[in-house]
Amino acid sequence: MVTILRIEIGSTANQIYLNMFLLNRGPELSSKTKFVPSQRFSGMQVIDSKGMLVGNVKDVSVNFKEKSLAFLVTTRNRTELDVPWDDVMSVEDVLLLKKEIELPGTSDDKGTESVNPLTVQALLICPSCGASAPGHAKFCPKCGHNLR
């Protein structure tokens, strides 16, 4: 049996690898939905479209009436902000937003942005499985090993 993989001009390497993976594994994989636990997002950095750090994800909120999701974000100036799922461009190692977020209290009288020292949040590495966890975690999100 001969299988032909069609590669279009302008395809990224990730698209090509995904097509090869789905081709080799069969159509049953492409129809499955992958669910992700909400704990995976906790502590994740949120970056706006200008590349500025907005804050860190505190929790995932659900609106059952409108059937929508939002991320509860603790901002750099220690306020909380709801970011709707529609404003999210990508979720990988960080949460990348589609638009710029103007945080209240980050501008001075001259209209220029004040410089706040960047707070680095520590990551813990699980000694059992090697997975990374937010600095405030007590247990590994992957295997449940006690991190304290």
Q: What is the mean pLDDT of residues 108-117?
A: 49
Give the DSSP H/E element, type plus range, for residue 60: strand 53-63
69-78, 80-89, 128-137: least confidently modelled range: 128-137
pLDDT at residue 67 is higher than 80: yes
Kindly report the length of the chain.
Answer: 148
Q: What is the pLDDT of residue 121?
A: 58
Q: What CATH superfamily is the domain 38-99?
A: PRC-barrel domain (2.30.30.240)
Of 25-39, 62-76, 102-116, 130-144, minimum mean pLDDT range: 102-116
The residue whose two tokens read 């949120």 is 46
Which residue do the tokens 């929790």 mark? Answer: 59
Q: Which residues pair with 53 in a beta bridge?
A: 47
Residue 8 or 30, more confident = 8
- pLDDT of res. 56: 92
- List, in sequence order, every residue forming a beta bridge with 75; answer none if it has no partner: 55
Residue 47 has pLDDT above 80, yes or no: yes
pTM, rounded to two decimals: 0.50
Question: Is 50 exceeded by the pLDDT of residue 26?
Answer: no
pLDDT attached to residue 132? 82
Lay out the sheet containing 80-84: strands in order across. 80-84, 68-75, 53-63, 45-47, 95-97, 88-91
Higher pLDDT, 113 or 75: 75
